[in-house]
Structure 1
Amino acid sequence: MEFRILGPLEVLAGGEPVDIGGPRREIVLASLLLDAGRVVPVTRLTDAIYGDDVPSTARVQTQICISMLRRLLAAHGRPDAIATRSGGYALQVQPGVLDLDLHDESLAAARRSRDAHRLREAVRHYRAALSLWRGSTLEEIGSRMVRAAAGHLDERRMAVWEECIELELQIGGDRDLVAELTGLVMRYPLRERLRGQLMLALYRSDRQAEALEVYRSGRRTMIDELGLEPNSWLRELEYGILNSDVTLRVPRSAPPGPDPVVVRPPAPSARPPALKMLPTDIGDFTGRAGYVHAVEQTFRGHPGRTAVPVVVVVGKPGVGKTTLAVHVAHQLAAEYPDGQFFADLHGRAAGRADPADVLERFLYVLGVPYSAIPQGPGERSELYRGLLSRRRTLILLDNVEDESQVMPLLPGDPGSVVLVTSQTRLSGIPGAVHIELEVFDPDQSLELLARIVGRERIGAEPEAAAALAGLCGQLPLALRIAGARLSSRPKWWIAHLVDRLQDEVSRLDELRHGGMEIRASLSLSYRSVDPAAQRLFRLLGALDFPAFSGWVAVTLLDVPAREAQELLDGLADAQLVETTGTGLGVHSRYRFQDLIRVFARECLAQESPEEREVALKRVLGALSYLSAAAHRRVNGRDRLQLAPAAGRWPLPEHLVEQLVDAPLEWFEQERASIVAGVRQAALAGLDDICWDLALHSVTIFVTSTQLDDWRETHRFGLAAARRAGNQPAAAALLYSVGLVAMLDQRFADARQELADAAALFRAGGDQHGESHAMGELVSADPIEGDLDAAERRYERALRAARRAGDPARTAHVLHDMARVQVQVDGAYTERAMATLDEALELSRRGGSRRLEAQVLHRIGLIHLAQGRPGDAVACFNGVLGAVRELGDPIGEAYALHGLDQRR
């Protein structure tokens, strides 16, 4: 079989064409042939077939294409041609059956002959390589990814063509080349090397005027289309032709012998004119003054330096890295008069740039003829560094993926500086300064909108403009797109676009205009991570958590913690999630930028409803499991003795120990996620998880007095317990609702809810629960001033607690009873001290560190009042140890205040 990709895709068997099948199979085969002998990941094949709209069945459909291609190849004697490898497939081709391989063999022979000065022989090999082309590479394949790869091969073809013509000019083939070069220049008017070769061929054919006209028409084209003058070599060539430079001529016929005289275009001058390759600066550049100053200070701040300063601007897609870098480069251009270089490395795109190709372009604009550019990347780097030595230049490398794209492009002389943009920290570049670019603040967002849309329009709808900035996530690219849409529709109200953006499902569809699109930028980052990380990204989109920790990834994928952390770090490196807070290790926190969350939820559609439901159950079940574990660390065993809810998802115990080591800190860190989790469990019909999570969340609400969150979670939790017909859970939640009513000082509501809870506990035969409810019911009395009634009720509550055999509950009643005894007897009561001594012993037996701290604190206060500061200090130090172990900053403040009082 023969395979041909240097033109339309063709497969031949015995010299006859083979029908490959439909377009999908053609795309898959083309992708495999472009990387023949190497593994092509399945994700790249699905992206090649479907582009940005990858359906949930993409992997299956790709496997079907592979199966059909295998069957086709097997029918022609190649059953093992497509091999399955880890993560993808590889097409094994035999020597001499792929036209690209034949081309490369002829090209290698041509260059060997050229280097040995056998120029005629080299030309024959070059022409043999060029004869294999039947048109543009894979010209009928419409896949964007295939077209990007094919474009690189087409560029190689042109470079080979130019090399061949260079040699033919050296051996005197001027007249024969004029027609060919004229056609090539018409097809590729911006290729300066071809234009210069045509000028030489015409000049050597005694057609000086035509040669000069070729230059002048090319100059007009370049200025009109690029805003650039021709490069220095072309300008010097025009000057030589204009002045009839005899060094540009060669003999009419090739000289004899194996080593003909080689006449090259003029060598580059010792110091070429200033090279200005920077893209145009942004006219409405907004804000970022601090970032601009930081870059400028880094470049200017080390006058005696010996290393090249490198600044890496890092940030998520659409945050404005390129805009900032280009603006700063223009600001600094005057300080680097020998040139400003620019290259887009296309880091995460399919057409990632090879540093060797960038070096070829940089060397060419520095005045090195293509024929004099070394083939090896190392030699190109050496020549590049040599040409930049003792020069002051600024090199801007945009959209870099990793260090390997940067290192060959670093100059050697510290007079030059390098500015890089990347979505990833490039920590492998020695001494590089990283600047993390964040989204705009609200004022900067409104300023950018005003510059695009007009201040009057923004001023007429300030609230709508602020809402628009919020829906754009304060992301500069999204704001620019929204502003462009409004600018192109002067009759639209800003509120109209706000309404269109409210719907998350279509928000990314609305945020595109002209060539600008949020989804495309995010898709590049998404496709750059491996399939497991992509799946984690999708499933994270199912959660309503405002932020999340690494344990979430463990439960979403049901994988070991180390593997989950690596995948999460991969998403962070790709700027698909961002770190937040100050936690380290297992306490590290991550979150989505608003628009990236919308994109994640779009991608979530690739998961089946069943997979989404299972993943959500695991995460909310794990959150419930962790909340129960943290609750036990604070309060000892579950005082209400409820059976564990169905649906709790156990995590590895060593991970649980690490996470809830300081339980109140963990609760505070996860508080917003717990509130969101209760709500999401209720909406998903996960009633057991809903009430269980709500009930254990009281631990943090009691400490931090977050009464709104307490009320909201218990509204959902109580409804869930009633739907599930779980009377003990409903009683426990009613009891907790009574507690929050007490803190609200709604005593009538508190008594009613606590009485209802006690009745439910009693009906279920739960003496423990009843004693809790009755004990709290008493607490309403002393606050309203009826101390005698309170003492009688506490006595009844104490008897109930002792009957229930609950040491922690008994200690709690004794603690509250002592508070009343102090109010009745005064600070010097021995009765209260005896009550608290028993409460302390029982709290320790019940394992409740929080209650132990509360009892110790009250004993310390009595010691202070009785003039025993030494005893008080011992108590307050005991409180301090307990609350620090729990991670309770409010308790710590009480302890420190007590220690301060003894002075």
Structure 2
Amino acid sequence: MASGRIRTDGRSDERRILPAGRRPPAVSGTRIRFRLLGPFEVEIDGDVVDVGRPRQQAVLAALAIVPYRTVVIERLITTVYGADPPPTAKAQVQICVSALRRLFAGHGQESMITTRPGGYALRAADDDVDLRRFEALVAEGRARRGDAPEAAVTAYRSALALWRGPALGGLDSEAMRAVAHRLDEQRLAVIEECIDLELGLGRHRDVLIELTTLAAEHPVREQLQGQLMLALHHAGRPADALEVYHRTRRVLVDELGIEPGPRLRRLQRAVLAGRTSLDIPPPKPGGDVTHGTPPEAAVPTPRLLPTDIADFTGRDAEIDAAGSALTGAPDPGVVPIVVVSGRPGVGKTALAVHLGHRVADRYPDGQLFADLRGPSGRPADPAEILGRFLRVLGVPGMALPEGTDARAELYRHRLAGRRMLVVLDNAGDERQILSLLPGTPPSAVLVTGRQRFGGLPATAYVEVGLFEPRTAMDLLSRMVGAERVAAEPEAAATLADLCGHLPLALRIAGARLVGRPHWTVEHLVTRLLDQGRRLAELQYGPWGVRAGLALSYEGLSGDARRLLRRLAVADFGHIRSWMAAALLESDHAGASDLLDELADARLLDPDAGGRRYRLHDLVRVYAGERLRAEEPGPEQAAALARVLGGLLFLAERANRPHAEGDITISAGVAARWALPDEVTARLLASPRTWLDEERHTLTTGIRLAAEANHTALSWELAYAASWVFEEQADVEEWRMAVEVALGRAEAAGDPQGQATMLYCLGSAHLFQQRYDAARRPLERAAALFRHSGDEQSRALPLRNLAYLDRLRGDLDAAAARYTEALALLRRGPYPVGVAYVLHGLARISLERGNGEAALRMLEEALTLSRQGGTRRVEAQVHCRLGELWLSLGTWDRAAGAFTEALAALHDVDDSVGRVHALRGRGIAYAQSGRRAEAAEALGEALQTAARIRNPLLQARCLVALADLALAGGDWRPARAHLYQALEHLRAVNVPPDKEHVLALLAKVEAMAAG
């Protein structure tokens, strides 16, 4: 152990270094301190703890700089890796946080680092972070300097005693160096303020040694040189004071090309005149860290903001958030930096300029503005921007130093102590911004760009999104005229939609309408409807949507550009990483990184969970333009085929649990694009959820395949998607997609595709209870399967036709078709398919009064359904058994069978099956006299049938409720239920049910009349 210096609190600074994760001898009342003002250290109960690798140190330091405030993950990544992080950067930062949490947990502080939306925060009290203690003491000193200078000096010196060397020593990342430089500048400013007070108290000799050392270390810092001159002069050493002036002048002229400032020159003249009292006013607290010259005497007042927009619309929340961050009470010594981010054309510049004018009176020393996107579209050189800023700040062109670093130093020198707003528009990355930041407050910075710039020491981030529909209409009304928009409200709303609610596109559309008063809004809408010309139409003078998109496009890597183009091929409305991998025929990790690159460029919008990305409509149009210009047709077709093949691969695997043991139609020739096992397992962890989420993707894929003449892909996707749509209450979207695939199969002369799609179309009609419409396609499908020799596939339309026969009361025809289908299915390994047909035959036997035959078939069906492992069919068999026991009058056994059916459906999303089971159990309860339980079961069945909008099931539930009411001798609710049932039956053609309701109604009406 090495001995240390004496601490300001009287304790020895002698400390032990503990290995990472090792618990100290006692953890009760553990105190953790974070030391940033010198070599970065973490001290636990007086011992310095080994925090771990440099990455972990950098992450912890970034959190400790702003305790209890969220540090976004992007800033942590930049802190560790700089502007070019590896693909695994986010995961590596998360690993660092986990390691740090384990370290603190080992010392009894499990919740020291908390997860916040978008990042993390350190739960450390201000008193435990030396930087926060320093800032608090400095604030105390500044508050006391006017009325109690002695107390102010004590506070300043206590603050400075916390420093142990250059800030954040040992942390070598670019971001940490920038923060450390800011903190070191802050320390020097405090030293200068403190010495000003001490000189005012007559302590000239006391500060001479310290001033001599500081002046030698900082030869161009004019404030320190002037203070040294004052101390020397008052100590009776005027010659030495003049030597300080001449030495400083030589350094300034030789290194920066500038003469000393007015304050230093006045000091020189006072010393030469032999004045005994030098009363040159000191700078304001936190002021000029080099000159100490009053701002108005040193440089002119620049006003560089562009003209504000007269019809600026909306953005109230964004303006309030950014304005509050700029003008609110800042942390002592911290320059307010507000980042405004968003996609190209969203209005970031307009917002920044509008806000700049709005708060201009809070920055009386001027406003600087620079577009960091150069005239050629390439990032502007910070050295050139600094040169322009310095010239308007009063530095002659011949006096401008060479190099970015030297100019940045002089720039900070000129801004120090001034209340100035710096607006940096269209920034490309952090490296372009850092040299343009003021060193000390009270200046503030407003940055706009497409990225969030997580590596900046920002105080606030404001995201600018698309306009809401109402705001879009407000903008059009303000530009074009409220009367003109009100005359064509629907056309105006369509115009806003075609502009994607993008402010730039809306402004261009409005400008075109203003410039052509003879155009109607509908006329412009018609022109924009042509996607091939939309971006050309959204051009007016120097403004155009395409130019902004092209700039973003050119800034991408080659692979990211290729991916963006190919996203126009797979127009699904969203994109997942596996789709990107298929489009590029690449690995999934690389494709995911490219999606993030497009998202960073604001060409894609990630959803909240980061699992999907969406393409804005105008970006999609631009991607299509680049696709047609740069990609050969065969490559486009191959990319689409891979994505559709991947979709088919996933749909078939998601369907496997449902189709297990049942017959499936023979696959066609479409090529599957197999996904890696780990990706497939992650996507299909819940097949039901995946199918629900991807319903629109599946129907879009069917349409895209048909339009691209991928015949087999089109109809095989439609067939693979059948289960998910069969489970939904509304299958209209799927039926329309099936019709598209059927048209493609017919055009291609594909008999297997035609037969399969006719079967699916008939099944869709059947599920929608459009029984008359279902029969013809099912009959055609059966005939085509017979003609092609695919006899086992023919069993599928046969069993659906048998169901239709039974519904219309033709039991003989139904039994014949079921028997034929059964014979076909028994030839193959299809236990579930056989069970399905057996319970259909059993129902016919029940309706014919042959319960014994029905029981034999249902017992076999139950065994087969369990063998196939399909709980849905097992539940259907239990329902048939329940109907059997109802027909035999064994109410308890019937109720038990329906309860078994509900148990089988517990983990199965089958609302139709649940209605059947609940209705059957309600009827069984009613027959056994359990009226309250019957009413509850039937009421739940009716609610479920209504939720899925199934009129036939609603009618049957209402009939059961009517029977329950009649059994209780109450004909009034029975009549109401039956009339409601009759209304539902008008939507479907099921004669037996309708006849049954009419017969009951006649009985009820007779009761009412009697």
Q: Aligned to 1:286, what secondary structure does the other structure show?
A: coil
- Counterpart check, 1:524 vs 2:551: yes
**Does the CA contact (< 8 Å) of 1:880 and 1:896 recur in 2?**
no
What's 1:410 paired with? Answer: 437
Alignment of 1:658-677 (within 5 A): 658-677=682-701
The residue aligned with 1:603 is: 626
Distance 1:681 1:868, change over 3 A: closer
- The verdict on how the C-alpha distance between 1:812 and 1:404 changes in structure 2, with shifts beyond 3 A counting, is farther
Looking at structure 1, the residues matched to 875 and 399 of structure 2 have their Cα atoms a distance apart, in angstroms, of 81
1:737 paired residue number: 761
> Which of residues 429, 432, 436 in structure 1 aligns to 2:456?
429
Asked if 2 retains the 8 angstrom alpha-carbon contact of 1:860 and 1:873, the reply is no
Q: 1:761 to 1:373 in 2, by over 3 A?
A: same
Say which SS state the counterpart of residue 435 (structure 2) adopts.
helix
The DSSP-based 3-state class of the residue aligned with 1:352 is coil
Equivalent residue number for residue 613 of structure 1: 637
- CA deviations on 1:362-404 (whole Å, 9 max, x unpaired) are 3443445556655454454455445545554433221111122
Deviations 1:563-599 (A, max 9, x none): 122222211211222224x554xxx222221111111
Q: Which amino acid aligns with 1:643?
A: A
Counterparts of 1:634 and 1:381, CA distance in 2: 67
1:456 aligns with 2:511: no
> CA 1:610–1:803 in 2, change beyond 3 Å: closer, same or farther?
closer
* Higher mean C-alpha displacement, 506-515 vs 773-782: 773-782
Indicate conservation of the 8 Å contact 1:859/1:875, yes or no. no
**Could you give the per-residue CA deviations for residues 165-210 of structure 1, whole angstroms, max 9, x where no partner exists?**
x99xx99xxxxxxxxxxxxxxxxxxxxx99xx9xx9xxxxxxxxxx
Q: Please list the CA deviations of residues 244-276 of structure 1 after superposition, one character each: whole Å capped at 9, or x if unmatched.
A: xx99xxxxxxxxxxxxxxxx9x99646766543
Q: CA offsets, 1:796-826, max 9 Å, x none?
A: 6445433444112123334556777888999
1:754 deviation in Å? 1.9
Q: Secondary structure at the match of 1:346?
A: coil
Q: Is the 8 A contact 1:410 1:418 kept in 2?
A: yes
1:643 aligns with 2:697: no
Instruction: For residue 370 of structure 2, give the secondary structure of its aligned residue in structure 1.
Output: strand
Residue 615 of structure 2 corresponds to residue 592 of structure 1? yes
Q: CA deviation at 1:858?
A: 8.6
Match of 2:678 in 1: 654
**Equivalent position of 1:842 in the other structure:** 864
Question: Do 2:342 and 2:602's aligned partners in 1 also have CA atoms closer than 8 Å?
Answer: yes
TM alignment of 1:342-357, pairs within 5 A: 342-346=369-373, 350-357=377-384
Matching of residues 360-371 of structure 1 within 5 Å: 360-369=387-396
Matched, 1:629 2:660: no
Distance across 2 between alignment mates of 1:697 and 1:451: 48
Amino acid at match of 1:361: R
SS in 1 for 2:368: strand
Aligned letter for 2:704? Answer: Q
1:406 partner SS: helix
TM-score (norm 2): 0.57
Change (3 A) 1:719 1:878: same
Q: Figure out how many residues of one structure are paired with residues of the other and give that number.
A: 648
Q: Which residue in the other structure is 1:283 paired with?
A: 310
Query: Alignment partner for residue 751 of structure 1, among 758, 765, 775?
Result: 775
Structure 1 residue aligned with 2:702: 678
CA contact (8 A) 2:872 2:904 kept: no
How far is 1:304 from its partner?
5.2
d(CA) in 1 for partners of 2:375 and 2:858? Answer: 66
Cα deviation for residue 881 of structure 1 reads 3.6
Preserved contact between residue 878 and residue 900 of structure 2 (Cα < 8 Å): no
- Alpha-carbon shift at residue 320 of structure 1 (Å): 0.9
Which stretch shifts more, 452-461 or 270-279? Answer: 270-279
After superposition, give the CA deviation of every residue in 1:405-433 in whole Å (9 maximum; x if it has no partner). Answer: 22333334464443221112322224554
Change (3 A) 1:340 1:831: farther
Query: Is the CA contact 2:726–2:767 (under 8 Å) kept in the aligned structure 1?
Result: no
CA contact (8 A) 2:778 2:800 kept: yes
Counterparts of 1:384 and 1:503 in 2: how far apart (Å)? 51
Q: 2:740 matched to 1:716?
A: yes
Are the counterparts in 2 of residues 299 and 417 from structure 1 also a CA contact under 8 Å?
yes
C-alpha separation in 1, matches of 2:776 and 2:623: 46
Contact 1:275 1:339 in 2 (8 A): yes
State the shift of 1:459 in Å.
Answer: 2.3
Is 2:740 the partner of 1:728? no
Deviation at 1:641, TM superposition (A): 3.8
Q: Which stretch shows the higher mean deviation, 333-342 or 598-607?
A: 333-342
Show the counterpart of 2:561. 534
Helix, strand or coil at the partner of 2:826: helix
Alpha-carbon spacing, 1:612–1:794, altered in 2? closer, same or farther (3 Å): closer
Q: Which moved more, 1:387-396 or 1:784-793?
A: 784-793
* Residues 668-709 of structure 1: CA deviation (Å, up to 9, x unaligned): 333223222222222222211121112212122112244222
Q: Percent identity?
A: 43
Q: Could you give the per-residue CA deviations for residues 687-732 of structure 1, whole angstroms, max 9, x where no partner exists?
A: 1112111221212211224422222221122233334443333222
Amino acid at match of 1:598: V
8 Å CA contact 1:347, 1:353 repeated in 2: yes
Contact 1:500 1:507 in 2 (8 A): yes
Does the CA contact (< 8 Å) of 1:539 and 1:615 recur in 2?
Answer: yes
Distance 1:896 1:422 in 2: 59
Larger radius of gyration: 2
Residue 399 of structure 1: SS of its match in structure 2? strand
Look up the SS of the partner of 1:544 in the other structure: coil
Matches within 5 A, 1:292-331: 292-299=319-326, 307-331=334-358
* Contact 2:418/2:442 (8 A) holds in 1: yes
User: Which of 465, 470, 475 is matched with 1:438 structurally?
Assistant: 465
Question: Amino acid of the residue matched to residue 727 of structure 1?
Answer: P
Query: Equivalences for 1:23-422 in 2 at 5 Å?
Result: 269=296, 275-299=302-326, 307-346=334-373, 350-369=377-396, 375=402, 377-378=404-405, 380-385=407-412, 387-389=414-416, 391-413=418-440, 415-422=442-449
- Do 1:856 and 1:879's aligned partners in 2 also have CA atoms closer than 8 Å? no
Rate the CA distance shift 1:466–1:872 in 2: closer, same or farther, 3 A. same
Residue type of the partner of 1:765?
G
CA-atom RMSD in angstroms:
4.5
Relative distance call for 1:282 and 1:840 in structure 2 (3 A) is: farther
The residue that corresponds to 1:769 in the other structure is 793
Q: Letter of the aligned partner of 2:868 in structure 1? A: G
State the match for 1:563 in structure 2.
590
The secondary structure found in structure 2 opposite 1:779 is helix
Equivalent of 1:553 in 560, 580, 585: 580
Change in CA separation of 1:384 and 1:647 when aligned onto 2, cut-off 3 Å = same
Instruction: Give the deviation of 1:284 after TM superposition.
Output: 0.6
CA distance 1:601–1:834, change in 2 (3 Å): same
Deviation at 1:528, TM superposition (A): 0.1
CA-CA distance at 1:761 after TM superposition: 2.5
Q: CA 1:578–1:890 in 2, change beyond 3 Å: closer, same or farther? A: farther
Using the TM superposition, name which of 525-534 and 501-510 deviates more. 501-510
2:535 counterpart residue number: 508
1:842 partner amino acid:
L
Contact preservation (8 Å) 1:880, 1:892: no
TM normalised by structure 1 equals 0.63
Change (3 A) 1:609 1:413: same
| Farther-moved stretch of structure 1 (837-846 vs 647-656) | 837-846
Shift of the 428–764 alpha-carbon distance from structure 1 to 2, 3 Å rule, reads same
| Structure 1 residues 704 and 583: alpha-carbon distance in aligned structure 2, compared to 1, 3 A threshold | farther
